[in-house]
Each structure stands twice: as structure tokens, then as C-alpha cells.
């Protein structure tokens, strides 16, 4: 985790520190290099992806009771559906047997 923090904090610190130097200068600020422009373009996306990854990892760790409960509910509904199908098949078989026994008109 320390490597990940270092990979995120070092570019962030550089991006925040270098514009402050150019604002403190007496003359006009020199134009940014393409690398800095790329960093300004990519850094917000990386931060958003990192935060999204972090929240998803956190929710996976803390929501295990919810997932377990939903899996139990799903298994219970599967069993109930199988019982209902068996009842429907028994009813259809009973009706067919009744129609065979009854006199035809």
C-alpha cells in the first residue's frame, strides 16, 4: 500500500508545487511542457479512478453480510420455484387423469 500511496502522492505534490513557483515569478509564466499538460489532463481521471476503486474495495469488505443474505434469499427463491413447478406438474397430471376417467361426451 505504501508504494501505491507514493505513486499517487509524488505526482500530486509535483503538480501542486510547480504552478506555485510560476505564480511567484515576476515575469509571465513560461508555457507548460507537454508532460505537464498531460499530467493535468490525466491526473483528475486517475484520482477519480483511485477513489472509485477504493470505495468499491471498501464496500466489498463491509457488505459481505448483505451479499450472503441476498445469496440465501436467491437459493430460497430457487427452492420455492422448484416446489411450485412440482405442484403445477402434479396438478396437470391429476387433471389429465381425471379427464381420462370421466365419461366423454
Question: Are 81 and 36 in the same domain?
Answer: no
Q: Is residue 6 part of a domain?
A: yes
Query: What is the span of the domain harbouring residue 79?
Result: 64-100
Name the residue with higher pLDDT: 54 or 25.
54
User: What was the pLDDT predicted at 69?
Assistant: 84
Mean pLDDT of the 49-65 span: 81
Percentage of residues of the chain with pLDDT beyond 70: 79
Count of helices and strands (H, E) across the chain? 3, 0
Span between the terminal Cα atoms of the chain, in Å:
82
> Could you tell me the three cell numbers for 46?
486517475
Q: What is the rounded distance in angstroms from the CA atom of residue 68 to the CA atom of residue 74?
A: 10
Tell me how many domains the chain contains.
2
Q: Do 17 and 49 belong to one domain?
A: yes
Asked whether residue 71 falls in the same domain as residue 94, the answer is: yes
Q: Is residue 105 part of a domain?
A: no
- My answer on whether 19 and 54 are in the same domain is yes
The pTM score is 0.38
pLDDT at position 55:
86
| Span of 2-6, 30-34, 38-42 with lowest mean pLDDT | 2-6
**Whether residue 95 is found in the same domain as residue 44:** no
Mapped onto helix, strand or coil, the DSSP state of residue 1 is coil
Do 58 and 86 sit in the same domain of this protein?
Answer: no
Q: How confident is the model at residue 32 (pLDDT cuts 50, 70, 90)?
A: confident
Whether residues 52 and 91 fall in one domain: no
Amino acid at each position: 500500500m505504501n508504494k501505491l500511496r507514493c505513486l499517487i502522492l509524488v505526482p500530486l505534490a509535483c503538480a501542486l508545487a510547480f504552478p506555485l513557483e510560476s505564480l511567484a515569478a515576476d515575469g509571465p509564466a513560461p508555457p507548460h511542457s507537454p508532460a505537464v499538460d498531460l499530467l493535468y489532463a490525466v491526473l483528475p481521471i486517475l484520482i477519480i479512478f483511485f477513489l472509485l476503486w477504493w470505495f468499491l474495495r471498501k464496500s466489498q469488505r463491509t457488505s459481505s453480510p448483505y451479499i450472503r443474505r441476498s445469496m440465501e434469499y436467491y437459493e430460497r427463491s430457487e427452492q420455492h420455484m422448484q416446489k411450485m413447478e412440482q405442484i403445477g406438474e402434479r396438478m396437470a397430471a391429476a387433471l389429465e387423469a381425471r379427464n381420462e376417467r370421466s365419461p366423454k361426451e
